[in-house]
Amino acid sequence: MENRIQQLFAQKPKGLLSVYFTAGFPSLEDTVPIILELEKNGVDLIEIGMPFSDPLADGPTIQQSSEVAIRNSMTIPKLFEQLKDIRQHTQIPLVLMGYLNPVMQYGVERFLQKASELGIDGLILPDLPLSDYVREYKALFEQNGLSNIFLVTPQTPEQRIREIDTHTNGFIYMVSSASVTGSTTEQSVSNTAYFERVNGMGLRNPGIIGFGIHNSETFTQACNHASGAIIGSAFIKALAKEGNLTENISTFIQSIRQNEIV
């Protein structure tokens, strides 16, 4: 059976907007309102960040939002409690993203069962090695109908990309350049040769580009080379602005989509 991620890509193969936010930021109880508001504004897929004290792959914006979220007492049990009725309100594909240690402490098997019960569609655990996934967890993910999303970078060798493609069944997260999240040093999505190399491989999974996508220009450029793009740090900065959550979200999403021909 297809999960919501697979259905989404089948229905809408181009121009997908995926948004990441850190659960528990800016306030503890903002999780569900942010999800519903993102859906209302036409976002296609949502990545809910589970905060971790030591997020190795993240730049300052996501680090700071994670610190605030942890101070606000966000935990995995708390997040699950907030999401318990989410599928009564929205059918947007939901992915949980976080680091392995908090998931390990919760119990990986218990975590996957619970996520599946709540209607979560996929997971991104950047520090879960492919080899461990295949050896210990792949069967459990599949039993629970969860896609495990892997990252590839401009440095990932072709053979490894193929291996990742074999073991995932949602999408491939193409990291735009060698950087942690939130880098805006490059004003354009310029790594064209890398995207075309991956696109030319005939992979079975679609790709989405993330890291450094922060405005309508970079979003549009990324969409030219993949099924869509992921925005995280820039959205978190928008959430942190003065004003109310609803307005901040709609202003930001409209600014991203402004170049699109509807």
Partner 1 sequence: MNYQVDDNGFYGRFGGAYVPEMLYPNVEELRQNYLTIMAEPDFQEELQALLKDYVGRPTPLYFAKRLSEKYNTNIYLKREDLNHTGAHKINNTIGQILLAKRLGKTRIIAETGAGQHGVATATVCALMNLECIVYMGEVDVERQAPNVARMKMLGATVVPATSGSKTLKDATNEAIRDWINNPEDTYYIIGSVVGPHPYPDMVARFQAVISEEMKSQLLEKTGSENPDYIVACVGGGSNAAGAFYHYLDTPEVKLVAAEAAGLGIDSGESAATSVLGKEGIIHGSRTLLMQTEDGQVTEPYSISAGLDYPGVGPLHAHLHQSGRAIFESITDEEALQAVLELTRLEGIIPALETAHALAAIGRLGAKPDEVVVINLSGRGDKDLATYLDRFNFDGK
Which residues would be at the binding site for partner 1 (CB under 8 A)?
Answer: 52-57, 59-60, 63, 67, 70, 75-77, 99-106, 126-129, 131-132, 150-153, 155-157, 160, 175, 178-180, 183
Q: Give the full edge-to-edge strand order of the sheet including 172-175.
A: 147-148, 122-124, 94-97, 45-49, 16-22, 228-231, 207-210, 172-175, 150-152
Q: Which amino acid is at 174?
A: M
β-pair partners for 123: 96, 148
Comparing CA positions, the residue from 99, 148, 150 lying closest to residue 120 is 148
CB of 256 to partner 1, least distance (A): 24
Q: Which of 44, 58, 121, 165 is catalytic?
A: 58
- Looking at beta carbons only, is 179 or 250 nearer to partner 1? 179
**What is the DSSP secondary structure assignment for residue 20, as one 8-state letter?**
E
- Looking at beta carbons only, is 76 or 95 nearer to partner 1? 76
DSSP sequence for 165-234: HHH-SS-EEEE-SSS-TT--S-SS---HHHHHHHHTT--SS-EEEESS--SHHHHHHHHHHSSEEEE-HH
- Looking at beta carbons only, is 179 or 215 nearer to partner 1? 179
CB of 46 to partner 1, least distance (A): 21
Q: Using CA atoms, how far apart are residues 230 and 19, in angstroms rounded to an integer?
A: 6
Reported as type and span, the H/E element at residue 10 is helix 4-11
- Looking at beta carbons only, is 69 or 92 nearer to partner 1? 69
Structure tokens at 128: 């879960």
The CB density around residue 248, as the number of other CB atoms within 10 Å, is: 20
CB of 139 to partner 1, least distance (A): 19
Torsion of CA 64, 69, 73, 79, to 10 degrees: -150
Q: Which of 30, 37, 44, 47 is catalytic?
A: 47
CB of 76 to partner 1, least distance (A): 7
Comparing CA positions, the residue from 45, 117, 119 lying closest to residue 87 is 119
CB of 161 to partner 1, least distance (A): 10
- Looking at beta carbons only, is 53 or 143 nearer to partner 1? 53
Known catalytic residue at 58: yes
The catalytic site residues sit at 47, 58
